[in-house]
Structure 1
Amino acid sequence: MPVNFAKSIEERTLEHPCYNCAAHKYARMHIPVAPKCNVSCNFCNRKYDCVNESRPGVTSGILTPEEARDKFKVVKDRVKNLTVVGIAGPGDPLANFEETKKSIELIKKECRDITFCLSTNGLMLPVYADEIIKLGITHVTVTINAVDPKISGKIYKFVNYQGKTFVGEEAGKILLNNQLSGLKYIAGKGIVTKVNIVMIKGINDTHIPEIVKKVKECGAYMTNIMPLIPVKGSVFENRDTVNESELKDMREKCEPHLKQMYHCRQCRADAIGNLNKDVSAQFRDYRKNIISLEKPEKIHIDDKENRDYRFAVASSSGDYIDEHFGHVSQLYIYDVLKENIKFHEKRNVEIYCKGPQECTGHDDRISGIIKCVEDCDGVLVLRIGFEPVIKLREKGIKVFQMYSTIEEGIEKAVELMK
Structure 2
Amino acid sequence: MSVNVSARTIEEKTFMHPCYNCIAHKYARMHIPVAPKCNVSCNFCNRKYDCVNETRPGVTSEVLTPEEAKDKFKIVKDKVRNLTVVGIAGPGDPLANFDETKKSIELIKNESKDITFCLSTNGLMLPFYVDKLIELEVTHLTITINAVDPKIGGEIYKFVNYLGDVFVGEEAGRVLLSNQLSGLKYAAQKGIVCKVNIVMIKGVNDVHVPEIVKKVKECGAYMANIMPLIPVKGSAFENNPTVTEVELNNMRKSCDSILKQMYHCKQCRADAIGTLENDISSQFRGNNISEESNDNENKLEDKNVIELKHHKYRFAIASKSGVSIDEHFGHASEFYIYDMINDEIKFREKRKVNKYCNGVYDCGEHEDKIENIIKNVIDCNAVLVVRAGFEPMDRLYEKGIRVFEMYQEINKGIRKAVELLKKNK
Contact 2:5 2:115 in 1 (8 A): no
Contact 1:193 1:222 in 2 (8 A): yes
Indicate whether 1:317 and 2:318 are aligned: no
1:4 CA drift (Å): 6.6
Indicate whether 1:203 and 2:208 are aligned: no
CA–CA separation in structure 1 for the residues paired with 2:207 and 2:295: 47
Deviations 1:160-191 (A, max 9, x none): 00111000011111000000000000000000
Indicate whether 1:183 and 2:184 are aligned: yes
CA–CA separation in structure 1 for the residues paired with 2:186 and 2:232: 33
In structure 2, the partner of 1:400 is: none
SS in 2 for 1:90: coil
Contact 2:283 2:289 in 1 (8 A): no
Write out aligned runs for 1:155-234 (5 A): 155-234=156-235
**Aligned residue identity for 1:49:** D
CA–CA separation in structure 2 for the residues paired with 1:317 and 1:278: 10
In structure 2, the partner of 1:147 is: 148
Write out aligned runs for 1:25-64 (5 A): 25-64=26-65
In structure 2, the partner of 1:277 is: 278
Contact 1:27 1:273 in 2 (8 A): yes
| Change in CA separation of 1:288 and 1:80 when aligned onto 2, cut-off 3 Å | closer
1:6 CA drift (Å): 2.2
Superposition RMSD on alpha carbons, in Å? 1.8
CA–CA separation in structure 1 for the residues paired with 2:276 and 2:76: 16
TM-score, structure 1 length as denominator? 0.69
In structure 1, the partner of 2:384 is: none
**Aligned residue identity for 1:177:** S
TM-score, structure 2 length as denominator? 0.68
Contact 1:71 1:287 in 2 (8 A): no
Contact 1:50 1:60 in 2 (8 A): yes
Write out aligned runs for 1:373-388 (5 A): none
Write out aligned runs for 1:3-82 (5 A): 5-82=6-83
1:7 CA drift (Å): 1.3
SS in 2 for 1:29: strand
Deviations 1:360-388 (A, max 9, x none): xxxxxxxxxxxxxxxxxxxxxxxxxxxxx
SS in 1 for 2:81: coil
CA–CA separation in structure 2 for the residues paired with 1:187 and 1:28: 23
CA–CA separation in structure 1 for the residues paired with 2:193 and 2:9: 12
State the 4+ residue runs in structure 1 displaced beyond 6 angstroms. Answer: none
| Change in CA separation of 1:68 and 1:244 when aligned onto 2, cut-off 3 Å | same
**Aligned residue identity for 2:151:** K
CA–CA separation in structure 2 for the residues paired with 1:77 and 1:4: 18
The count of corresponding residues between Structure 1 and Structure 2 is: 296
1:62 CA drift (Å): 0.1
SS in 2 for 1:118: strand
1:288 CA drift (Å): 6.6
Contact 1:84 1:115 in 2 (8 A): yes
CA–CA separation in structure 2 for the residues paired with 1:278 and 1:288: 14
**Aligned residue identity for 1:117:** C
CA–CA separation in structure 2 for the residues paired with 1:281 and 1:275: 14
In structure 1, the partner of 2:125 is: 124
CA–CA separation in structure 1 for the residues paired with 2:294 and 2:275: 17
CA–CA separation in structure 1 for the residues paired with 2:278 and 2:289: 22
Deviations 1:199-245 (A, max 9, x none): 00001000000000000000000000000000000000000000000
**Aligned residue identity for 2:213:** V
SS in 2 for 1:36: coil
1:316 CA drift (Å): 3.7
Indicate whether 1:85 and 2:86 are aligned: yes
Contact 2:5 2:114 in 1 (8 A): no
Structure 2 unpaired stretches of 5+: 304-425
In structure 2, the partner of 1:396 is: none
SS in 1 for 2:73: helix
For the pair shown, the structure with the greater C-alpha radius of gyration is 1
CA–CA separation in structure 2 for the residues paired with 1:202 and 1:287: 43
CA–CA separation in structure 2 for the residues paired with 1:83 and 1:263: 18
In structure 1, the partner of 2:241 is: 240
CA–CA separation in structure 1 for the residues paired with 2:150 and 2:288: 46
SS in 2 for 1:131: helix
CA–CA separation in structure 2 for the residues paired with 1:185 and 1:71: 33
1:317 CA drift (Å): 2.5
CA–CA separation in structure 2 for the residues paired with 1:58 and 1:122: 19
CA–CA separation in structure 1 for the residues paired with 2:40 and 2:167: 10
In structure 2, the partner of 1:103 is: 104
CA–CA separation in structure 1 for the residues paired with 2:289 and 2:87: 23
CA–CA separation in structure 2 for the residues paired with 1:184 and 1:91: 23
CA–CA separation in structure 2 for the residues paired with 1:317 and 1:201: 39
| Change in CA separation of 1:242 and 1:35 when aligned onto 2, cut-off 3 Å | same
CA–CA separation in structure 2 for the residues paired with 1:287 and 1:316: 11
CA–CA separation in structure 2 for the residues paired with 1:118 and 1:41: 19
| Change in CA separation of 1:78 and 1:230 when aligned onto 2, cut-off 3 Å | same
CA–CA separation in structure 1 for the residues paired with 2:175 and 2:149: 11
CA–CA separation in structure 2 for the residues paired with 1:208 and 1:156: 16
Contact 1:71 1:286 in 2 (8 A): no
Deviations 1:24-45 (A, max 9, x none): 1100000000000000000000
SS in 2 for 1:138: strand
1:130 CA drift (Å): 0.7
